[in-house]
Structure 1
Amino acid sequence: MTIHDTHPFADAEPDPARRFRGRLGGAVTLWTAGSGAARAGLTVSSVVLARGEPDRLLALVDPDSDLADTLDDTGRAVVHVLAWRHRDLADAFAGVAPSPGGPFRAGTFTDDVHGPRLVDATAVARVAVESTAEVGWSLLVTAMVEDVEVAPGDDGDEAPLLHRRGRYRTIEG
């Protein structure tokens, strides 16, 4: 039973730019950096790879996130492309699901010079931060790709983790 016939906290006028962004969608990645107690990670779906010499990854991250601070301190990161099976992990690193002991307990990670590496990620890039700039309410991170690792036999057919209109989705390979 409810006393409202509409959402009591809905915006009077939906933000058209936000609605547009929600329809863009994208692959979900996990960015990790640091080590030990100083490690940080964040789920990021606003990512693009710019081909060149060297290749670069550009990402929009929360400027107030622990990841932004750790990237500033270390200048390096590991970028994991997540699969549908990683959606609980993605929620933990996005801070929208409980993760007793912290989000790094939600998966198995190994130490890497660039940051924690998710053991079962099949596509991973190691990057060095080239620059950061505030863009709107986000921090644009431009990072040079130093190494890419795609698991042997990975033909890209595993169901990807995608984010569109505020929820996770997938497509069959």
Structure 2
Amino acid sequence: MTIHSSHPFADPEPDPARRLRGRLGTAVTLWTAGEGADRAGLTVTSLMVALGPTPSLLALLDPDSDLLAELRESRRAVVQLLTWEDRQLAESFAGTAPAPGGPFRQAEFATTPYGPLLAHATTHALVSLAAEREVGWSVEVEAVLDSITVGDSDDRPLLHRRGRFLALPE
């Protein structure tokens, strides 16, 4: 066994675009769609709100994700903002932490016509798929904001920057 002074999985030449993306920072959302055995979810941090006569969310999704497949099928989803207390749930839906029984067993969800809604989510949106296109290694989706609920208790939003979860100082 050889011990190296550098990280064994680090890129030999870091990609400047990847480094820039990591420094932008963003809120962490959970996208869910489907019902019953067809439920799917994905932790999403690459998104923005586009204002206008028809406000929309623009998001970059994994082209191989179950969530994208279900979104294409149902044409609807629930987008919920996660809090600091939801960081393990975010890891579960990102596929980076174990989720015994699947990620939907890690929290309570209510059934809606748009998909599963995290029972304690105070800020969420019900969205309809309007368009999609391949962008780089992702699929950019445009989702029309059909209904928005903005809660008052978003004191500790879950944020993501440089590969780590962060919370705003209290």
Check the 8 A contact 2:22/2:162 in 1, yes or no: yes
Task: Give the distance between the partners of 2:66 and 2:41, measured in 1 at CA.
Answer: 7
| Within-5 A mapping of 1:127-146 | 127-146=127-146
Alignment partners' CA distance in 2, 1:43 and 1:150: 19
User: Structure 1 CA distance, aligned partners of 2:73 and 2:140?
Assistant: 16
TM-score, reference length from structure 1 = 0.94
Q: Please give the per-residue CA displacement for 1:11-63, whole angstroms capped at 9, x wherever unaligned.
A: 22111110011001100000000000001000000110111111100100101
Shift of 1:8: 2.6
Equivalent position SS for 1:111? strand
The equivalent of 1:111 in structure 2 is 111
Match in the other structure for 1:171: 168
Answer whether contact 2:156 2:167 (CA < 8 A) is retained.
yes
Q: How far did residue 162 of structure 1 move? A: 0.3
Secondary structure, in 3 states, of the residue corresponding to 2:10? coil
Which residue in 2 is equivalent to 1:41?
Answer: 41
Give the residue type in structure 1 aligned to 2:47.
V
Give the letter aligned to residue 163 of structure 1. H
Moved more, 6-15 or 162-171: 6-15
Match of 1:22, SS state, is: helix
SS in 2 for 1:3: coil
Number of residue pairs aligned between Structure 1 and Structure 2 = 170
Displacement of 1:155: 5.4
Which position in structure 1 is the counterpart of 2:27?
27
* Aligned counterpart, 2:8: 8
Contact 2:58 2:142 in 1 (8 A): yes
Structure 2 length-normalised TM: 0.96
SS in 2 for 1:90: helix
Q: Deviations for 1:111-141, whole angstroms, at most 9, x for unmatched residues? A: 0000000010110100000011100000101
In the aligned structure 1, how far is the partner of 2:3 from the partner of 2:117?
49
Q: Which amino acid aligns with 1:63?
A: P
Q: 1:63 aligns to what SS in structure 2?
A: coil
Structure 2 portions without partners, runs of 5+ = none
> Pairwise mapping of residues 120-131 of structure 1 onto structure 2 (< 5 A)?
120-131=120-131
Deviation >6 Å, runs of 4+: none
Q: 2:59 aligns to what?
A: 59
Q: Secondary structure at the match of 1:110?
A: strand
Aligned to 1:160: 157
| 1:148 counterpart residue number | 148
Q: Which runs of 5+ in 1 are unaligned?
A: none
Secondary structure of residue in 1 paired with 2:156: coil
Q: Secondary structure at the match of 2:8?
A: coil
The code of the aligned residue for 2:166 comes to R
d(CA) in 2 for partners of 1:15, 1:134: 20
Query: In 1, Cα distance between the equivalents of 2:134 and 2:123?
Result: 28
